[in-house]
């Protein structure tokens, strides 16, 4: 089955050293999905999304403001933090599910392409991120205009699986309370959720990990449904 083969391919890409040249741009793409999750969540809540940064080491940050959100500030801040953690899993599940139908595949490809182009024009200023994301956008554009069904399905399943796998790759970050950046101690996203709501960071990490697993399972099940 295509989805099993592609899942195995994605897994091998991240496990074998021979694919190091491919791993790096995919790592930055996963960071893009994460940071766009923060930014788009803030916009959906009525807040502001200023810009995002993607660092050479694969890290990143999205600069947002939810002070004037439709929701109470603490709730909006917590949801925005969760948006980045769930962004890759939600995006991956949508792409995998969309690959099952021809029209949905085309819509998903063009929507992803438009969001990527919008981010390049509005929210990304660093040269490295601009180059890498521009290459991904160009590849998506050619796949979309070629209208080859098998190629569309491969692209959606590959990117969808890659997105979901990026949740697994950030497991260590999920269960991190704080970290150092630019000689300053900063809270992780799960700790930010705990600060603005209730509980401990590891509780929210477990919940987000569980949601990501359920999304993966449901999307695979939907795609494979006869």
- Are the C-beta atoms of 144 and 156 separated by less than 8 Å? no
Which of 147, 170, 180, 184 has its CA nearest to residue 87? 170
167-195: pLDDT as tens digits: 776 778 888 888 877 778 888 999 999 99
Question: In the structure encoding, which two tokens stand for residue 145, read together?
Answer: 């205009």
CA–CA dist 167, 157 (Å, integer):
16
Any idea where the domains of the chain sit in the sequence?
Answer: 24-224
* Burial (CB count within 10 angstroms: exposed 0-12, middle 13-18, buried 19+), residue 64: buried
**43, pLDDT greater than 90:** yes
With a cut of 70, say whether residue 125 has pLDDT above it: yes
Spell out the residues 6+ positions from residue 24 whose beta carbon is closer than 8 angstroms to its own: 58
Tell me what pLDDT residue 174 has: 85
Q: What is the pLDDT of residue 1?
A: 62
Global model pTM greater than 0.85:
yes
Average pLDDT for residues 136-150, to the nearest whole number?
93
Q: Read off the pLDDT of residues 17-41 as tens digits, 9 standing for 90 and up.
A: 776 788 889 889 999 999 999 999 9
Q: Is 62 helix (H, G, I), strand (E, B) or coil?
A: strand
Q: How far is CA 184 from CA 19, 123, 172, 175, 179, in A?
A: 34, 24, 19, 19, 8
Residue with tokens 């399943």: 157
């Amino acid at each position: 089955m295509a989805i099993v083969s592609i899942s195995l391919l994605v897994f091998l890409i991240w496990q074998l050293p021979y694919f190091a040249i491919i791993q790096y741009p995919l790592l930055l793409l996963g960071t893009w999905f994460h940071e766009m999750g923060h930014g788009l969540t803030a916009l959906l809540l009525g807040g502001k999304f200023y810009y995002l940064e993607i660092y050479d080491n694969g890290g990143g940050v999205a600069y947002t403001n939810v002070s004037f959100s439709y929701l109470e500030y603490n709730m909006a801040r917590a949801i925005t933090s969760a948006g980045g953690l769930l962004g890759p899993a939600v995006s991956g599940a949508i792409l995998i599910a969309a690959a099952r139908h021809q029209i949905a595949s085309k819509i998903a490809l063009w929507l992803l392409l438009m969001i990527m182009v919008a981010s390049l024009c509005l929210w990304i200023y660093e040269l490295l991120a601009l180059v890498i994301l521009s290459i991904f956008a160009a590849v998506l554009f050619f796949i979309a205009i070629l209208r080859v069904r098998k190629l569309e399905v491969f692209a959606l399943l590959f990117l969808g699986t890659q997105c979901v796998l990026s949740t697994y790759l950030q497991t260590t970050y999920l269960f991190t309370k704080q970290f150092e950046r630019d000689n300053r101690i900063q809270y992780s996203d799960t700790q930010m959720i705990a600060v603005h709501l209730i509980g401990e960071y590891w509780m929210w990490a477990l919940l987000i990990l569980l949601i990501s697993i359920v999304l993966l399972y449901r999307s695979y099940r939907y795609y494979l449904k006869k």
